[in-house]
A and B are shown apart, each in its own frame.
Chain A
Amino acid sequence: MTMILDVALGMAEVAAVKRSGADMAVVAEVRKVDRDQRQTVGLPFVEAPRMICREVNVYYGDKHAIKNVSIDVGKNEVLAMIGPSGCGKSTFLRCLNRMNDTVAGCRVTGDILLDDLNIYDRKVDVVPLRARVGMVFQKPNPFPKSIFDNVAYGPKIHGLAASRAELQDIVESSLQKAGLWDEVSDRLDQPGTGLSGGQQQRLCIARAIAVRPEVILMDEPCSALDPIATATVEDLITELKAQYTIVIVTHNMQQAARVSQRTAYFHLGDLVEVGSTDRIFTNPRHQLTEDYITGRFG
Chain B
Amino acid sequence: MSDATGPNQENGEGLVAHLIDHFKKEWQLYVMLLPTIAWLVVFLYKPMYGLQIAFKDYSIFRGISGSPWVGFEHFETLFQSEQFIRALKNTVIISFYTLIFGFPVPIFLALMFNEVLNRWFKKTSQTIVYLPHFISSVIIAGIVMTAFSPSAGIINTFLGWFGVEPIYFLTKPEWFRPIFIGTGIWQEAGFQSIVYLAAIAGVSPTLYESAVVDGASRWQMMWKITLPSILPTIIIMLIIRIGNILEVSFEMIILLYQPATYETADVVNTFIYRQGIQGGQYDLAAAAGLFNAVVAFVLVISANTISKRFSRTSLW
Q: Do A and B originate from a single complex?
A: no
Binding site for A on B (CB under 8 A): none
